[in-house]
Amino acid sequence: MKFAVIVFPGSNCDIDMYHAIKDELGEEVEYVWHDAEDLSGYDGILLPGGFSYGDYLRCGAIARFSNVMKEVVKAAGEGKPVLGVCNGFQILLEAGLLPGAMQRNTNLKFMCRTVGLRIENNETMFTNGFVPNETIKIPIAHGEGNYYCDDETYEQLKENGQIAFTYAGTNPNGSRGDIAGIINEKGNVLGMMPHPERAVDALLGSADGLKLFQSIVKHWRDSNVVTA
Amino acid sequence: MMKVKIYVTLRESVLDPQGTAVKSSLHAMNYTEVQDVRIGKYLEVTMEPTERPLDEVVKEMCEKLLANTVIEDFEYEVEEAVTR
C-alpha cells in the first residue's frame, strides 16, 4: 500500500507521519507538496499536524484552498482512506469533508500530553484492529481542538456511528460529546486531534497508534488484494 | 478604490472561550456592569471596482474564506474610496 503525506508550509508532524508508515508500519510512503496536481498514484492520503500557513485567519482555512486539496477531495470521493491528524483534522473540517468546526480549547491553553481514547466504533477502516470500548493511549498537542457541531449534526454523528474516538476521562479541550475523532458518512475520511503517528513504538510511550495504521492496511488488503 | 470593512463574529449559539476569559478579567477589575464579552475579527479589504456587483463578491469571499459559517456570522460596510 502506498501512502502520501501531504506537506503544507507550516506542517510539522510530516516527518513523524512518514516515519510511522515507513519504519513502523513497513509500507510505502512519499511526501507530497501542497501544490501537487495528482494523487492518483496513492492508495491512502495523510494530512499531518502542524500550523499550516501559520494558522492565519483560522486553523486550516488557508490550507484548504491549496492546490492539492482538489485532489484530496477527489481521493475522498473515490473512497480512498483519508486521515487528517490535528491540523489535518482542522483542514478536513474547513474543506467540508467532515462536518463541524474547531474552536479554541475552553481553558485557552495549548494542551500537550498523553490522553486516554475510547474506541467508540471499531467497525471502520481506521479502527478494525481495536476492540469495542477499548481505551488506548495517544498524545495530543493542540490549542484549538474544541470540536463544535450543532445539535442536528451531533445526533447524526451518533446515529451513523461516525464518532470514532472520544476522550476517556477528562476532556482536555471542551469538545462536544468528548469527541476526539470523527469519520464521514461513507467511512473513508477520519479526522482526529490526537496524534497516532507519535504512538507507534513502545519506546515513545505507546504503540497504540500503530494499530490505526495497521487497520487501514488490513482494510485495503481485504478489498484490493485478490487471494486465490 | 473601495474599502470594505468586514466584521466576523461568533454565532450566538456558540460559546466563546476567549470572550468568557476576558469577561472574568473585567469582573476581576471591578467592571461589574459587564454582562458579556464576545470576541470577533475585523478585516479591512481594499478593492478595485468589480465587474460583478460588489455585494455578491464580498459575500462570496466571506462565505468561502473569511468566515466559517458553521460557527461564525459576518457583516460588512463599504466605504467609497481612498484616493492615491
Q: What is the pLDDT of residues A109-119, one digit of tens each?
A: 999 999 999 99
B21 touches chain A (CB under 8 A): yes
Q: Is pLDDT of A103 > 60?
A: yes
Q: Which of B14, B18, B21 lies at the smallest CB-CB distance from A148?
A: B14
Q: Residue A86 contacts by C-beta under 8 Å, 6 or more apart in sequence?
A: A13, A48, A49, A50, A140, A141, A142, A145, A192, A193, A194, A195
pLDDT value at B69 more than 70:
yes
Three-state DSSP at B34 gives: coil
Domains of chain A and CATH, by start = 2-224 (3.40.50.880)
Q: pLDDT by residue (tens digit) across A11-40?
A: 999 999 999 999 999 999 999 999 999 999
Cell matching residue A131 = 476492540
With CA atoms as reference, report the closest residue to A166 among A156, A154, A181, A152: A181
Pure H helices in A78-226: 87-94, 151-159, 208-224
The one catalytic residue among A94, A144, A149, A195: A195
- Structural domain range at position B64: 2-80
Residue B70: list chain A partners with CB under 8 A: 93, 99-101, 148-149
pLDDT at A114: 96
CATH number at residue B41: 3.30.1280.10
Q: How confident is the model at residue A155 (pLDDT cuts 50, 70, 90)?
A: very high
C-alpha cell at A69: 486539496
pLDDT band, residue A225 (cuts 50/70/90): confident
pLDDT at A227: 65
Tell me the per-residue pLDDT of A49-62, one tens digit each, with 9 for 90 and over: 999 999 999 999 99
- Active-site residue (options: A86, A94, A142, A219): A86
Chain A residues whose CB is inside 8 A of the B68 CB are 58, 61, 94, 101
pLDDT of B81 above 80? no
Confirm whether A112 is a catalytic residue.
no
Nine-digit cell at A81?
482512506
**Cα(A167)–Cα(A142) distance, rounded to whole angstroms?**
14
- Which residues from A are below 8 Å from B24, CB to CB? none
What contacts A3, CB < 8 A, 6 or more positions away?
A21, A27, A28, A29, A30, A42, A43, A44, A45, A46
